[in-house]
Structure 1
Amino acid sequence: MKNILFSFALFMLSLAARAQSALTVGDAFPDWSFVSLDGQALTLESSRDYVLVLEFWASWCGPCRTSLAALAELKATFGDRLVVVTLSDEDPDRQVRFAERTGYPFHFVQWQERWQEAFPHRIIPHAVVVNPAGRIAAITRPELVTADVIETLLSGEAVELPLKAEADWDPTVPIFARDSQTIAAFAVQPARADAPSYTREYHQGPFAGRRITLVNLPVSGLYRHALATSIHRMELPEDEGRSYCVDFVVAPEQSGQLNSLLLDSLRRQFDWRLDTVRLERTMWVLSAAETGLLLPEAASPGAPTANGTSYRSAGARLADFAAYLEEFGVAGMPVLDETGAGDRLFQLDFSFEPEDQSTFFRALEKMGVAVRKDTRTIVMYSLSPE
């Protein structure tokens, strides 16, 4: 493995020397060669009879895994006429396990930061397509790389795919200017074309616990945050309409009511109807395993870090863990905590590898937690424009 990484490092130095600025659609792709994580050597000539797809990904990224599965189907269709190189900054051993379990016929390569200059990107998945003439045909969203696109490129014709342009946006720079002495405020702006969608909560400073900024969210997303619920507990219209930016501040003595007061403000601002209904839904139910809970307890809460394959906290309730499984789409349905742990805090260090479902259940087993599917009647939120 060390020899593989060393060989790739030499390749990266070579590429960096030749790519002093970002490569764009229409540019010639440099002639280069590398050794992938499994020891395979690949040389890409300037003229060839195949299409090259560079896929930037990570195993914790659900859309990335979906994109790789779609590329595997394309590879099965086109065979040697399609070459796929995946690039990730994850641990090389993790990538190798993913490659072995999925059997995807790709060249898995360790990403290095010096390549960022040639292919700047921050959001994955991210695809770069090179035509048989050795020129960059597209820098786009992976789901747009279809069989028709590959066929067109193989025939020598050009394709026009939307450019996956990313905003150079710093989420710590406030959209809404606020004096530190502000007691309460509610402001709404149209969506910002130069910003991604995100939520900013304030944990320090004069606005700690009493301010929230929501950027480029549809009305349903604004309500979802105010209701502290997930998409799996909402019934929404097909067309969610425009997106907005919202900034909300409450007085210090009202910090515990931040979400409920935000909901009141949203209901006054937008002509949308919000109803609650009780409906039967299939869900995951968490319970204590026969061993009992095996988690070390915590004395105080700890801010969690989470992604699609892991949840870690120095102090969290199992109800918080259940919410993670629901809100991050791990379960794909509502999740109910019936472990009986209540408000007890635990040290949580949970992770799994989604291409191998057994790793998920082993991770739960180490926690002393069991999961089953059941049908329950739960409160759902119905949201629609009036």
Structure 2
Amino acid sequence: MVHVAEITRWDELASLQLVWRELWGKTRRASFFQSFEWFATAWKHFGDTQSFRVLVVSDGNEVIGLLPLVLRRESSRLGAFHVLTYPLDNWGDFFGPIGPHPTATLLVALRHLAESRRDWDVLDLRWVDRDRCDQLRTPMAMKQVGLVPLAQIWDRSAVIDGRMGWEEYWATRSSKFRNNLRRAEKRLLARGRVELVRYRPAGATWGDDDPRWDLFDACVNLASRSWQAHQDHGTTLSHESVYGFLRDVHEAAVKLGCLDLNLLTVDDQPVAFAYNYVYEGRVFGLRTGYDPDWADASPGNVLKFWMIRDSFERKDEEFDLGPGSLASKEAWATGSVESYRYTYFSPRSPRAQLLRWKRWWDTRLFSTEQLLARRSA
């Protein structure tokens, strides 16, 4: 018989580690953000302000799927709401159920939510990879259990298809773009000995799990000098509000073989970084930055140029440049992918119903591009 257990306490989470690891390995297009280690680290650092939970779906004595969620308080012009959503919090661009049976996991877990006492105003399943992975499983499951959702685009990410090969990829870039990169490369090479340090350890299973804190600290130092560091509510590597979390996540990523750290140096001096995660040949660009004192030599672009070329040589399947700032990424990308949100507004919450009508009207008043711009503003 299929049933659901709900994990809501930190001391219960450890019991899931082995089965989570097994299911993660069987998840279609899984990412580091869906690992037990990432979720446990997020719970450790943000559990005081958010309520983390995992819906464990079992068939008899066998766990067939997991649905990690978080209950958080979010503000809007209509007031504050208790929102039940995935725990990604915009660190990555896609999320979903863990395991090889997403349809059954979603259906059983969502039925559990529909029939249980609600401590939420809005069920908002964001970051859904509708076209490549979910294939409308989420909205269909929600409808089937009576949680009829409003579907909206959530974000758009620029990606590079690594399966085409470097020569083909490079030939598809505009001549202006290629010439600008070559000139930037030449300017930087004239300043000294330029080296790309790319650290991608295989993980603890292979005895290759040195965290290389010297490289991590070099990235943090560059991040502290970049323009992002001066944002009031930023989440770059050096921001105090997330530094401890990202440091612990760094260690977890190293142990899993999911770290991809890139540092560009000139005469051994770090001038630019790209901090990524990687899993099963798919790279996700988390954060980048460069030393503003070297801005005239375009070290950030040279780093990206060398790093992407190296990814093709390594046979990486995909390089996800991340959501947002698409205008600066279009020249590099071979395409874009969209994430979606599926939202159910509790009829027991009058403000949630007002929010539903506002969202509904927004989809008719504004274009997709306008909606994306309004959400990111």
**TM-score of the two chains, using structure 2 as the length reference:** 0.25
Greater C-alpha Rg: 1
**TM-score of the two chains, using structure 1 as the length reference:** 0.25
Q: As a proportion of its length, which structure holds more helix?
A: 2
Higher relative contact order (CA 8 A, sep 6+): 2
